[in-house]
């Protein structure tokens, strides 16, 4: 009887929340889309991340463990990449060039690594330089621990802020009961380090005994999107919920984003995780999706190339296989649009130095969005 009452209460709460958010839970398919999608790089099974180089080239990570250099229509595989522990959602993950790449040549990567004493793997961050189609000067900056043979929730995106700090995400590694809420443990966190791997002295947990001092925020599930807001400089993240409850958050120093104590999602089996969607001391998302779209890479549109798109946030959907445009009013989502429907699982989206949008689609490759005149 008590269990039935709990389920009923959860239904009522969910129903009321859904009714209150009807306007933003509906995704529109616009009639007039200001671009056409052109396949720029083909035959890429799972292009996980991409970054642009000053010479006009692009680096693309393949989840299975390849690094592709694309330039002038040619694909070249880069050698001497780190040894990748490929299991489940783990593999060769994100890539980003240093903001001052032209002067220092550093490129940053996240990947699943088996380094350590335990069996399995966990998320690692390295930096390296590119020379003669090979990585050189490889430096390990961070390795989450302990390793586990679980195949889920490695994260992991990386982004620089305006002060030159490197942010990266690590999912809860399938251990929601221990990792996300404990700052002495890796997993379910967003981290902030200096570009050489050292710890900023103003990180929130540098003086907490036993804490992982690279942690910047905690209580995350599986963050697979990170982007810097073009006006405020704040770091935004998106993360996978379970069944429902995917989120967009504005990352804050020392903040607890609640997983799994609060969530708008439920277990994949349909049973509740918790009856709480908010608690004092825990942050609320600025947006959540019900049902889950399985968000991946995301990017703010800052160029004027696409009519009406400047200031929007683009997010890839793995589950529903489209690119979503979120229209923002400050930190509030006021409208959702479905773009590139049924094209495939959108893994990443970036705005290039030319102001154009590039979209990585599993089983297809990299699309370039050509503005309509």
Catalytic site positions: 153
The distance of Cα 190 from the centroid of its chain, to the nearest Å, equals 10
Q: Cβ atoms within 10 A of the Cβ of 114, count?
A: 18
Q: Report the alpha-carbon angle 336-156-134, nearest 5.
A: 120
The two structure tokens encoding residue 314: 């683009």
Rounded CA-CA distance 289/279 in Å is 19
Rounded CA-CA distance 283/234 in Å is 15
Rounded CA-CA distance 58/354 in Å is 13
DSSP 6-72: HHHHHHHHHHHHHHHTHHHH-EE--S--SEEEEEEEE--S-EEEEEE-TTS-EEEEETTTEEEEEET
Map tokens 């269990």 to a residue.
Answer: 3
Largest CA distance in the chain: 69
Rounded CA-CA distance 214/192 in Å is 6
Nearest to 325, CA basis, from 334, 333, 315: 315
181 prior amide bond cis, ω within 30: no
**β-bridge pairing 223-228 and 215-218:** unpaired
Tell me how far CA of residue 233 lies from CA of 79, 227, 283, in angstroms. 34, 9, 19
The two structure tokens encoding residue 99: 């903001």
Tell me how far CA of residue 277 lies from CA of 19, 167, 237, 271, 346, in angstroms. 16, 27, 19, 15, 28
Which letter does DSSP use for residue 325 in this model? E
Task: Tell me the Cα Rg of the chain.
Answer: 20
Q: Cβ atoms within 10 A of the Cβ of 232, count?
A: 12
Rounded CA-CA distance 41/44 in Å is 8
């Amino acid at each position: 009887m008590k269990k039935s009452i709990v389920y009923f209460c959860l239904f009522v709460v969910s129903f009321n929340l859904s009714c209150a958010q009807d306007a933003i839970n509906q995704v529109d398919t616009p009639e007039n889309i200001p671009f056409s999608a052109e396949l720029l790089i083909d035959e890429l099974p799972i292009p996980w991340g991409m970054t642009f180089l000053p010479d006009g080239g692009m680096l693309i990570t393949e989840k299975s463990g390849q690094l592709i250099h694309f330039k002038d229509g040619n694909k070249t595989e880069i050698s001497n990449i780190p040894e990748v522990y490929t299991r489940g959602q783990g593999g060769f993950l994100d890539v980003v060039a240093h903001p001052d790449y032209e002067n220092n040549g550093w490129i940053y990567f996240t990947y699943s690594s088996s380094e350590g004493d335990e069996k399995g793997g966990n998320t690692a961050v390295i930096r390296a330089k590119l020379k003669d189609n090979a990585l050189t000067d490889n430096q390990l900056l961070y390795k989450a621990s302990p390793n586990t043979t679980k195949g889920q929730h490695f994260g992991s995106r990386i982004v620089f802020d305006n002060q030159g700090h490197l942010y990266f995400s690590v999912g809860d590694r399938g251990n929601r009961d221990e990792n996300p809420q404990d700052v002495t443990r890796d997993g379910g966190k967003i981290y902030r380090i200096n570009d050489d791997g050292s710890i900023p002295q103003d990180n929130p947990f540098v003086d907490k005994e036993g804490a992982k001092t690279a942690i910047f925020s905690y209580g995350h599930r599986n963050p697979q999107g990170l982007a810097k807001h073009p006006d405020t400089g704040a770091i935004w993240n998106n993360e996978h919920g379970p069944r429902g409850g995917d989120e967009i958050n504005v990352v804050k120093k020392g903040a607890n984003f609640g997983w799994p104590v609060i969530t708008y999602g439920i277990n994949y089996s349909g049973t509740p995780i918790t009856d709480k969607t908010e608690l004092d001391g825990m942050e609320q998302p600025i947006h959540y999706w019900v049902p889950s779209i399985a968000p991946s890479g995301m990017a703010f549109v800052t160029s004027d190339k696409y009519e009406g798109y400047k200031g929007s946030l683009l997010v890839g959907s793995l589950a529903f296989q489209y690119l979503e445009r979120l229209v923002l009013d400050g930190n509030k989502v006021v409208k959702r649009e479905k773009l590139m429907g049924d094209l495939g699982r959108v893994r990443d989206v970036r705005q290039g130095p030319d102001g154009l949008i590039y979209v990585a689609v599993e089983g297809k490759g990299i699309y370039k969005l050509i503005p309509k005149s």
